[in-house]
């Protein structure tokens, strides 16, 4: 599994919400809490680890955004996200702006 995690970590890329909107409207975007690593979630999704995925869903650490949240994120176009494609899903994590 560590090889898969390394492979997935190398695929994480940055995106703006405009690039993610159509995927979100199709129900393929899964928001990932900042306390989780995208590659860890990616491994769980790719390997059908229903126990981990179910726990994260129950704890609200991963979820699919509803239409209201999608509209809200569309209005905040300057925000950046990290994304990882694990077909058929796009795992997405908000990138916090650095504080100065």
Gap between the Cα atoms of 86 and 16, Å rounded = 18
100 residues of the chain, pLDDT tens digit each: 579 999 999 999 999 998 999 999 999 999 999 999 999 999 999 999 999 999 999 999 999 999 999 999 999 877 899 999 999 999 999 987 654 5
The predicted pLDDT at position 46 comes to: 95
pTM comes to 0.90
Can you list the alpha helix ranges (DSSP code H) found in the chain?
A: 2-11, 17-25, 38-46, 50-58, 67-75
First to last CA, the chain: 38
How high is the pLDDT of residue 1? 58
For residue 86, CA distances in Å to 67, 75, 90, 98, 99 come to 22, 26, 6, 28, 31
Residue 59 per-residue DSSP state: T
């Amino acid at each position: 599994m560590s090889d898969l995690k390394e492979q997935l970590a190398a695929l994480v890329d940055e995106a703006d919400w405009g690039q993610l909107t159509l995927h979100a409207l199709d129900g393929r975007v899964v928001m990932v809490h900042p306390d989780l690593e995208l590659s860890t979630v990616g491994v769980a999704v790719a390997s059908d680890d229903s126990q981990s995925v179910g726990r994260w869903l129950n704890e609200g650490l991963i979820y699919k955004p509803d239409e209201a949240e999608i509209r809200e994120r569309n209005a905040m176009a300057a925000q950046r996200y990290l994304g990882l494609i694990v077909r058929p899903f796009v795992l997405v994590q908000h990138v916090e702006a650095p504080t100065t």
